[in-house]
Amino acid sequence: MGFETAYVAQAALGECPLWSVREQALYWVDIESPSLNRFDPATGENTAIPMDENIGCIGFRAGGGFVAGMRSGVWLLDDAGRKERLLANPQPDTSISRFNDGRVDPWGRFWAGTIHEPRDRAGGALYVIGADGSCGAVGKPVRTSNGVAFSPDARTAYHSDTPAHVVYRYALDADGGVTDAGIFAEFEHGTGRPDGAAVDAEGCYWTALFEGGRVAKLSPEGAVLAEYPVPARCPTMCAFGGPDLRTLYVTSARHKRPDDELAEWPESGNLFAMRTDVAGRAEPDFAG
């Protein structure tokens, strides 16, 4: 198994791949050249919808359209990616903070975290946004919120702080409330930082290692089971897709990367894919 370019995106900061079972297509965003994208693997065509501000993460809505974490807050978008309504904005200062990674949970809520752009302190947070616009923070403050994912039995949530090289694990009760928190995995500094992630049908956590040039597969206990090279030094997030959910897609970045790195990794910013021997799971819809 190995990753190959699925689409020559050359994205500034590709993020949040999300597979649509209904459309058999992959949605993804470019945060820094703001756009919402739809990639059709059957034709190789990508359709980009320009956005008027940074867009960090998306989820599908039950009634159609998207929920999206953007610089100005969490928005409801229609099928064409147009803004309908601002749902929540808990950030104290959007000039130095924006929404980053996020995912819909099994209860139809949107978990979305922020990045504190000065990166001089833990000024970011992870929020749980309900269909009614309710919004509350969970876990500890972070510098860059990433890696949100959920176990197949809906009893565990995962969340990473990328600059800290750590992935947290939250125990969930039957209603999705956090009952306990602890460290799931830590990565040695200089070997790559845990960015966006996905959980497969067997409960293993797959994390893109930013500046590590690979995706790591971790057991439900946090042990590294395997690592897969990516043709970009900065993979950002992974998602399972394809008709059988056995294709792992990975976005990547080239924004603010040094020239010598881009010369060594010319495929940086592309969308990559790899066949896997285990399936992923269909993503739930946001209830709003």
Q: Catalytic residues, which ones? A: 195
Closest CA to 83 of 92, 96, 74, 95: 74
124 token code pair: 């970011």
Closest CA to 183 of 147, 155, 148, 159: 159
Element (H, E) at 104: strand 97-104
**Contact between 225 and 187 (Cβ < 8 Å):** no
83-88 and 97-104: which strand pairing?
unpaired
Helices and strands (H, E) in the chain, number of each type? 1, 24
Side-chain-side CA neighbours of residue 60 (13 Å): 19
Q: How far apart are CA 251 and CA 245, in angstroms?
A: 17
Q: How far apart are CA 45 and CA 244, in angstroms?
A: 20
Tokens 């190995």 -> residue: 2
Contacts of 163 (CB under 8 A, 6+ apart): 119, 143, 144, 193
Q: How far apart are CA 185 and CA 107, in angstroms?
A: 25
55-60 and 66-70: which strand pairing?
antiparallel
Q: Which three-class secondary structure state does DSSP give residue 163?
A: helix
**Contact between 225 and 217 (Cβ < 8 Å):** yes
